[in-house]
Amino acid sequence: MRKIVATVLAAGAMLLPALAHAQDVVSVEDAANSGDTAWILVSSAFVLMMAMPGLTLFYGGLVRAKGFLAVLVQVGAIAAVASVLWVAVGYTLAFGDVSGGWLGSGNAWMLLNLGNVRANTAIPESAFALFQMCFALITPGLMVGAWIDRARFGWVVAFSALWGLLVYAPVAHWIWGGGWLATRLGTLDFAGGIVVHTTAGISALVVAMLLGKRSGFPKTLMLPHSPALTMAGAALLWVGWFGFNGGSALAANDDAASAIINTHIAACVAALVWLGIEKMSVGKPTSVGFATGAVAGLATVTPAAGFIAPGSAMLFGALAAGVCYPMIQLVKQRLEIDDSLDVFAVHGVGGMLGSVLLAVFIAPAFGGTGFAEGMDLTRQLVAQVAGVGIVALWSAFATVVCALMVSMVIPMRVSEDEEREGLDITSHGERAWEFD
């Protein structure tokens, strides 16, 4: 009996180091990297800054004075309702456990049951959820520029809330959450050219057509009341975009640094080319043109920022200006669609352009990071075009559904008298500026 007990004790003594080592391995695997975590938290703050105050000032300066506060309140309210819905159900729809590839499962509603570390990263899942929440709140905010001066505030908030659940969350799952576009087709989107800019741009165009034109459009000249605010807002967007694209590496590493370099250089080139186009077409380069060109470059490089070389990013910036500038003229002058602040022409077209160009310039021959296993130029190009096309079609269809459903309860458009007097007073009972 003593021999049996001694044998058992000896075996236990031999197993203890192995068990301790196994516990150490588990603890290391479940431990987040503090540097990566800090970077994602800072990047989240950068993206929130893009929405408030960046986007509000950028858009606010472009509208007439009597609609300035309305823009600020709309962007703020959209950010608030999108954040609440993201915590409640949006995150789990977009990034919950993968089942059929169409929507995430309900395992993380109300952000319950989050893992210590998000899969395939070294950051806590709570930090990942926070970062993605900032994307979910700024994306519908981009659409505000399409309906200024005429959309009813209640409709805007309700539509944006429903849109976030029916358009943004599913598309985020399809591409970023392990869904079917990424896993079956191989569609790539580093930081939102498809998930953010294509969805918002297409939806903005659809809403602009559903709402109709502003009173006097296109004959009445509707000049921005404060180009200075627009420049300030563009500067905040530019800086915040470092977190938008750099943070999408989900680590504080070379990928993040490369994405930031590409982001910055694309914006620089796009802004300069836009000024040159303005000089040739209207005779003078403008501050609004510089700001708009920079944003076009930022939107265009976003889907590819972490996959391409700086030289390619310069080309992305030049093409952004060369394509988005005439697209503004096409939409407003030829088609006479009142996309008031050119959301489709700048964000939508820029994001789609960059998403397709990615397929070419990800190639090692152009200094890119290279194709995934089983992919080549042709397959990647098909994946990108298909991804853009499918998301564009879904965004258009679901936007019509959301807009009309909400309009059954809350009218889409303010009255002609309210539009004439300005939404600052008629919708919110206050003015940003005092008039004599």
Angle at 277 between CA 280 and CA 384, to 5 degrees: 155
The C-alpha atoms of residue 377 and residue 380 are separated, in whole angstroms, by: 5
Q: Please give the pLDDT value at position 436.
A: 38
Q: Please give the pLDDT value at position 434.
A: 57
Query: What pTM value is reported for the model?
Result: 0.91
Q: Is 192 helix (H, G, I), strand (E, B) or coil?
A: coil
The C-alpha atoms of residue 171 and residue 68 are separated, in whole angstroms, by: 31
Residue 342 falls inside a structural domain: yes
Amino acid letter for position 268: C
Residue 46 falls inside a structural domain: yes
Residue (of 177, 140, 178) closest to 395 by Cα position: 140
Please write the tens of the pLDDT for every residue from 367-398. 999 999 999 999 999 999 999 999 999 999 99
- 50: which DSSP letter? I
Residue 11 falls inside a structural domain: no
**What CATH number does residue 144 fall under?**
1.10.3430.10
Residue 19 falls inside a structural domain: no
Residue (of 39, 303, 342, 300) closest to 171 by Cα position: 303
Q: Please give the pLDDT value at position 22.
A: 39
Which segments within 115-164 are labelled E, that is strand? none
Residue (of 296, 192, 309) closest to 237 by Cα position: 296
Residues in the chain predicted with pLDDT less than 70, given as ranges, are 1-30, 433-436
Please write the tens of the pLDDT for every residue from 258-296. 999 999 999 999 999 999 999 999 999 999 999 999 999
- Could you list the residue range(s) of the whole structural domain that residue 138 is in? 32-428
* Domain count across the chain: 1
Residue (of 146, 203, 205, 133) closest to 172 by Cα position: 133
Please write the tens of the pLDDT for every residue from 86-135. 999 999 999 999 998 999 999 999 999 999 999 999 999 999 999 999 99
The C-alpha atoms of residue 309 and residue 361 are separated, in whole angstroms, by: 8
Helix/strand/coil (H, E, C) string of 180-240? HHHHHHCCCCCCCHHHHHHHHHHHHHHHHHHHCCCCCCCCCCCCCCCHHHHHHHHHHHHHH
Residue (of 327, 149, 278) closest to 225 by Cα position: 149
Amino acid letter for position 92: T
Q: Please give the pLDDT value at position 141.
A: 98
Residue 237 falls inside a structural domain: yes
Residue 9 falls inside a structural domain: no
CB of 168 within 8 A of CB of 237? Answer: no
Residue 69 falls inside a structural domain: yes
Q: Please give the pLDDT value at position 276.
A: 98
Residue 412 falls inside a structural domain: yes
